[in-house]
Amino acid sequence: MVPTAPRYLLLLLLLLQGSSSAALPANGRTTGTRKAAGDTGEGLPSAVTCTGCVLLVSVIEQLAQVHNSTVQKAMERLCSYLPEHLYLKMICQGAAEFFGPDLIKLFTSKANADVVCHALNLCRKQPGLPYCHLYPPPKEGLEMSIKKAQRIVKSSVLLRKLTAFPSICSLPFLDKICQKIKHTIDYKVPLKDFDQDNFSDLSYFRGYDWRGKDCNDLNDTVYPGRSPRNWDIQHDSNCNGIWGIDPEDGIPYEKKFCEGTDSKGVILLADSAGAHFHIPPEWLTAETMSLKTFSNLPLTIFNEFDWPQFSGYTGFLNSTIGGWTESIYLHLRDRNRCNHRDYQSISKNGGSSKNIMGFIESLARKKKLDKPAIVIYSMVGNDVCNEYTDTLAHMTSPKDLHDDVMKVLKYLNSRLPDGSHVILQGLADGRFLWDHLHNRYHPLGQLNKDITYEQLYTFLSCIQFNPCNGWMSLNETLRNLTSQRAFQLSSVLEEIATLKFSSFDMLYVNFSIAAIADEWHKLGGKPWQLIEPTDGFHPSQNALALGAKLVWQEVLQKWPHVLGKPNPFNKDIVRVFGDQGGH
């Protein structure tokens, strides 16, 4: 059964929620979710839908401007750009049919996106607080413009239907798939995993974009990272592409090429920066929008708006979103081809020391059967970043960080094979964001030169959806206090790194955006290019690649034993088994 237009709209808003909420730190110590501003629990309107509405209406308005067309034609054009996959085009067409009449009325009255979304009740004013807005207020004033627009759509059928929509996952035809997807997202395990070994031969939904590709998903004794079974004479038990016997001397290839080479994998425990959260700026750029613009939208949704396949830790594919891919995994694989496919990204949008124990159990490493691993703990922002107005009060304290990280290390000590290593990475200095972005135009504001990052940060703070009120703030004192707490927490990690555990040794490395910027400057780049343009918060592809290079160089210089010696048989492995690619 095909959903009706209102249900199309609901599905579209679900997708918007995925894109918007992914950037928001979920760093509470409970599993409950705090209500966003404007969310009364009686319908769809919330900070998520407000943000999504303002972005969508802005794009439609700009498409009409760029192509000198009507709003109706602009909506049709936007829908035509969306792929058929996941019914995205049909969802868009249904939403356009549902919203269209009211949008046309409001645009005819010269209402901007802020006014439209407030009039449609998709953005709501909090009692006693001013109206939140992304754009400069209209000349007649924002409040008066909104009231005028509300009179225009007063009799709208849409407004009556919005509050009657059920939860997306309460719909009978989506109930089971919602449960399975929710389990995948909550527990960071592959959606398709027949043998339940936490590895998959599907790339997305926490598959091999996130962890090494399973070369036999029907056998739970075959997976990346295990010690070879009987030197892989008959089959490839660890999925590194090396198996069989050399007919010239009768020696198993795994034994001949990998024994004594200190092969190991890399496992990442991280937040959205480690997972490489990225919303393509082309999605908001009406001037260049085309049929190709949204071709990667389905995969982006399936991967929670993360791009781990290009990340600076476990990335393995050449980047298709700008810049280049350089990662710890690729460096480790180039050093020793026996490490092929041995990577895991156990990372979460909103991940922090406060919630990591909720998803660390998806780490796939057996203490007695598997190879040692290099585990990188990299929570670079969410222990100081949150959406609360009293942001300082909700930051992680040094004591809490110490206690939470010690829980992680004790868990790792019980799971990791002996001879493993743990790298603790410090927090970023997020003042870099404001310093290099606040007066620049956001992708949505480049056409008419009307939206800067300062306006974006202020809007997100107003609707209580700013992912980092401490750093993405007009208040310089607050930005400095946030960095001060970040330095304190980094010092705690550096002190913890001196402790001893039976299964692994520990190292501490900085996350130095200043050092990354220096490297980027040498290449002729500008500092603002190191920040994701759409959200103005996460490190960009270039920043992650350079960050991986700096971490690798630091570890290679100070702790070379962690990385193992270069494998002298690398060329022989490629000669016999081919390059095989990064995955």
Residue 298 domain-assigned (yes or no)? no
Residue 375 domain-assigned (yes or no)? yes
Give the residue from 143, 162, 181 where a domain finishes: 162
**240: amino acid identity, one letter:** N
What is residue 185's predicted lDDT score, i.e. its pLDDT? 79
Query: Coil, helix or strand for 60?
Result: helix
Residue 324 domain-assigned (yes or no)? yes
Residue 331: which residues within 8 A CB-CB, separation 6 or more?
548, 552, 563
DSSP 338-355: GGTT-EEEEE-TT--TTT
The answer to whether 508 and 559 are in contact (CB under 8 A) is: no
Residue 7 scores a pLDDT above 60: no
Our answer to whether residue 272 is catalytic in this structure is: yes
* pLDDT tens string 521-558: 999 999 999 999 999 999 999 999 999 999 999 999 99
Helical packing angle, 71-81 and 47-66, nearest 10° = 110
* pLDDT tens string 189-215: 999 999 999 999 999 999 999 999 999
* Spatial separation of the C-alpha atoms in residues 510 and 507, rounded to whole Å: 10
What is residue 163's predicted lDDT score, i.e. its pLDDT? 52
**CATH number, position 515:** 3.40.50
* pLDDT tens string 272-301: 999 999 999 999 999 999 999 999 999 999
Residue 156 scores a pLDDT above 80: no
Nearest partner of 375 among 436, 314, 322, 319, judged by Cα: 314
Greatest CA separation for the chain = 87
* pLDDT tens string 239-284: 999 999 999 999 999 999 999 999 999 999 999 999 999 999 999 9
Give the residue from 147, 162, 177 where a domain finishes: 162
Q: What is the mean pLDDT of residues 222-234?
A: 97
Give the residue from 162, 197, 218 where a domain finishes: 162
Residue 104 domain-assigned (yes or no)? yes
Residue with the two structure tokens 């990791």: 416
Start-end of H helices in 245-327: 253-258, 272-275, 297-302
Q: Does an H or E element contain 420, and which?
A: strand 420-425
Nearest partner of 353 among 399, 385, 401, 394, judged by Cα: 401
pTM: 0.91
What is residue 77's predicted lDDT score, i.e. its pLDDT? 97
* Spatial separation of the C-alpha atoms in residues 41 and 18, rounded to whole Å: 18
Total domains, the chain: 2
What is residue 160's predicted lDDT score, i.e. its pLDDT? 57
Residue 456 domain-assigned (yes or no)? yes
* pLDDT tens string 464-506: 999 999 999 999 999 999 999 999 999 999 999 999 999 999 9
Inter-CA distances, 474 with 50, 270, 435, 458, Å: 22, 28, 11, 8
Domain that includes residue 318, residue range: 304-565
Give residue 182's pLDDT band: very low, low, confident or very high (50, 70, 90): confident
> Cβ–Cβ contacts within 10 Å for residue 480, how many?
12
Residue 237 domain-assigned (yes or no)? no
Residue 83 domain-assigned (yes or no)? yes
Residue 478 domain-assigned (yes or no)? yes
Residue 16 scores a pLDDT above 60: no
Query: Coil, helix or strand for 542?
Result: helix
Nearest partner of 146 among 108, 117, 119, judged by Cα: 119
Residue 98: which residues within 8 A CB-CB, separation 6 or more?
5, 6, 8, 9, 158
Q: Which one of the listed residues 156, 272, 311, 347 is annotated catalytic?
A: 272
* Spatial separation of the C-alpha atoms in residues 103 and 30, rounded to whole Å: 40
Give residue 186's pLDDT band: very low, low, confident or very high (50, 70, 90): confident
**571: amino acid identity, one letter:** K
